[in-house]
Structure 1
Amino acid sequence: MGNVNPAVSALVWPMLAQVVLAFAVMLVMGYRRRRALYSREVRLKDIALSGEAWPTGARQAANNFSNQFEVPVLFYALVLAAIVTGATGWLTVTLAWAFVASRFAHSFVHVTSNDLRLRAAVFFVGCIILMVLTGRIAVALL
């Protein structure tokens, strides 16, 4: 297992969970796209230059996959900053897991019902968590 500091390890796990979420959404996207191609809902020439022709389910998954490289990038940066600054306590770990939970909820809503009100609320919660995490790291620097 190596000599990884347990406090650092506790923060790497939520980062890995976030990466697993991105892979899971990628697989859902691939499955839905493949199904659309094989069922002839869409043809290759229809999607060669734009994703607009994909059926709704495939577009939902693709949009969510793109989302995995937006706000979560701030999460990765903040976790690395927490590790570097030593702000690796229970509060930081709890906030990291709470953010990841919010992203799993956001992805679930996005690729299923796509209820925009619920999706926006879950997204907002995740952003608030990141703001608190930012403050936690800033306080650790003082």
Structure 2
Amino acid sequence: MLKTVIFWPAIAQVALILVGYVYLFCARLAAVGSGAVTSTDFAPGEEPAESAAGRRHLANQFELPMLFFVVIGFLFLIDGISILELALAWLFVAARLLHTIGSLKGPLTLRHSSFFAAFLLVVALWVDLAIRIL
């Protein structure tokens, strides 16, 4: 298998993060346009709910996904890419997609369960890396 294929889930995760930026921009633009805020100063606690949800979600994209990006890079460097790592990586992205839906529009249980699934998947990738370098 071509080892660079592992970068496609990483690229998909980046695309998901970029969607978060677009969502936040649109939410803030709508808030200013509707007069919900009088300026473009969106201080925490003073911004509309949709903007606050987008901001919190975007901040979350720089927590657990960062561990994902690092482990993908390490696995690539040691030639540790197989169908297992590729499947785990795509499942992580799918879980993060569900987390995005749950965070921005869906039920709280979807956000929690998808975060936990993504957490377990990134742990599995790190355990896999540890086993490969033993």
Shift of 1:117: 2.4
State the percentage of identical aligned residues.
Answer: 27
1:15 aligns with 2:10: yes
How far apart are the structure 1 equivalents of 2:14 and 2:87?
A: 18
SS of the aligned residue for 2:46 comes to coil
How far apart are the structure 1 equivalents of 2:71 and 2:131?
A: 13
Question: Which of 24, 34, 38 pairs up with 1:43?
Answer: 38
Gaps of 5+ in 2: none
What is the root-mean-square deviation in Å for CA atoms of aligned residues? Answer: 1.4
2:127 is aligned to 135
1:125 is aligned to 117
1:91 aligns with 2:87: no
- TM-score normalized with structure 2 length: 0.94
Question: What count of residue pairs does the alignment treat as equivalent?
Answer: 134
Gaps of 5+ in 1: none
How far apart are the structure 2 equivalents of 1:23 and 1:29?
A: 10
Query: What per-residue deviation string (whole Å, max 9, x for no partner) do you get for residues 46-91 of structure 1?
Result: 63xx232211111111111111111100000000111112110010
How far apart are the structure 2 equivalents of 1:45 and 1:123?
A: 31
1:72 aligns with 2:72: no
